[in-house]
A and B are shown apart, each in its own frame.
Chain A
Amino acid sequence: MSSDMTTLDSLTVTAGSDKSGNSACHDIIFTPGEITALLGPTGSGKSRFLSDIESLADNDTPSGRKILLNETPPDPDQRFELQGRLVAQLTQNMNFVLDMAVDDFILTHAKSREVPTPEETTEKVIAAANDLAGEPFAPRTQLTQLSGGQSRALMIADAALLSWSPVLLIDEIENAGVDKLRALDLLVKSDKIVVIATHDPVLALSATRRLVFEHGAVHAVLSRTQEEQDILARLTDLENTFSHVRSQLRLGKPLTIGER
């Protein structure tokens, strides 16, 4: 099955309808290698959009959307087979509930995904997660004892390095103290369709295009202008300054004017 899915050239989300049941305007087509940011106030429908993709909606969710793979609706068998596998998802729900150690959990996940070298992959995922998280954790740590940032980092590393899913959905990556630009870098390298719901300006502007949500539907589709490109450069610069200052303060080092 994994080899079949590498042939996913496009994923289409049909327009469906907004919260009042009025037809929405935009069908959205996603292709591998691009990042799409979803923007809009809380409650405007970003999470619904993500979960429609995740469940391969077929007019059976409140939005009435349908998902097409390579421009064709998946047949029921394909849909069931792919359910929860086509898409790797990082949601806002980052509190683990399972009573397992980190390494057992990742190893079991690797085996359930039929990864060829599960032990090696487990080590890689844990190392990458420790690289992203503020404070490192041991492989034998219980999942439920991880901090918010550590859980998030583990899930990002798991999604990027362990699963073959061609689509990656991310909900609010910025919320839990991971290095977001490095996280994004790790994810983009995996050559997936990446869709991010975010309120973060740097993440939003880093995307190839932006979907703006209103009242449960896509209201506008925007690409980055030249002017916005310049703004992104400035914001990235500020971001780097911030993280430099933060780490200096953490280490108890004095700050000097002009330092970067």
Chain B
Amino acid sequence: MRLITVAGPPSCGKTSVLLRTCAALKKKGVACAVIKFDCLQTRDNLAYHDADIPATAVLSGGLCPDHFFATNLEETFEWAKNTGAECCVIETAGLCNRCSPHLRGALGLCVIDNLMGIDAPQKIGPMLKLADLVLVTKGDLVSQAEREVYRHRIRQMNSRAIIRHINGLTGQGCQELATVLAMAPDIVSVTDMRLRFAMPAAVCSYCLSETRIGSRYQKGNVKKAEFGDAHVV
């Protein structure tokens, strides 16, 4: 089964793009299954169901969503296999931007939109830096020069990814994307695969539901900040 990870900040258009793209794949005779990893709530799985695409949403709740993603990947892959799909598409909500769900040997996509600030490509970090394909949405809402400058900034962060403009609302570019997804590497099992980027370390007292503030409540992996001198103008 082909495996594709799709990451990007909230509301950048991941689901719209994937809906169109999976529908285009289905037309080509390639069945997809979509798993949405999210934190609190999502109705995206219903949108996929409406388009007759097998989909499920899983919520991390109080856990770090990226750890939740990694610890459930084998089961995710099995679930997708059981739907009879040829393409397993994993959509993650792209949460603290410290992580990247992309795996070595699988196809990794990052979606960002043209309405974010000019420094967004830097802030998004590993999920953009380590993506194979960067999809830029909402280009119809800005000037061409802005699109080009933004693209330039993306290129500075990721020199090797293919960068495409895409529109999840009109479907422009989705058919092309479907062609690329249909060529994603075929994978037998995710066991022993490796993430492209390490997860953030945690396991402090707050991970274990501590809510009180104060040094005496802090145990485990605690990092103290260095604040430096105040700059007085």
- B-binding residues in A (CB < 8 A): 51, 54-55, 57-58, 60-62, 76, 80, 83-85, 87-91, 93-94, 96-100, 105-106, 108-109, 111-113, 151, 155, 158-159
Q: Spot the interface stretch: B142-150, B194-202, B218-226.
A: B142-150
Instruction: Say whether, besides A60-B171, A60-B172, A98 and B146 are in contact (CB < 8 Å).
Output: yes
Q: How far is the CA of A61 from the CA of B179 in the complex (A)?
A: 16
The 9 closest A-B pairs by CB, nearest first: A112-B152, A60-B175, A89-B144, A98-B118, A108-B149, A109-B145, A99-B117, A109-B149, A158-B145
Residue from the list B140, B149, B175 in contact with A98, Cβ < 8 A: B149
- Kindly provide the distance from the CB of A34 to the nearest chain B CB, expressed in whole angstroms: 21
Q: How far is the CA of A88 from the CA of B158 in the complex (A)?
A: 24
Q: How far is the CA of A109 from the CA of B146 in the complex (A)?
A: 8
Contact bitstring B122-155, A, C-beta under 8 A = 1, else 0:
0000000000000000011111111111111100
- Kindly provide the distance from the CB of B115 to the nearest chain A CB, expressed in whole angstroms: 5
- A-binding residues in B (CB < 8 A): 114-115, 117-119, 139-153, 162, 164-165, 170-176, 179
In the complex, are the beta carbons of A100 and B118 less than 8 A apart? yes
Instruction: Say whether, besides A60-B175, A83-B165, A111 and B147 are in contact (CB < 8 Å).
Output: no
In the complex, are the beta carbons of A96 and B148 less than 8 A apart? no
Residue from the list B142, B144, B162, B173 in contact with A97, Cβ < 8 A: B142
Q: How far is the CA of A100 from the CA of B142 in the complex (A)?
A: 14
In the complex, are the beta carbons of B176 and A91 less than 8 A apart? no
Residue from the list A60, A62, A84, A105 in contact with B151, Cβ < 8 A: A84
Residue of A with least CB distance to B156: A112
In the complex, are the beta carbons of A91 and B144 less than 8 A apart? yes
Instruction: Say whether, besides A51-B140, A91-B143, A105 and B149 are in contact (CB < 8 Å).
Output: yes
- Kindly provide the distance from the CB of B30 to the nearest chain A CB, expressed in whole angstroms: 17
- Kindly provide the distance from the CB of A168 to the nearest chain B CB, expressed in whole angstroms: 10
- Kindly provide the distance from the CB of A91 to the nearest chain B CB, expressed in whole angstroms: 7
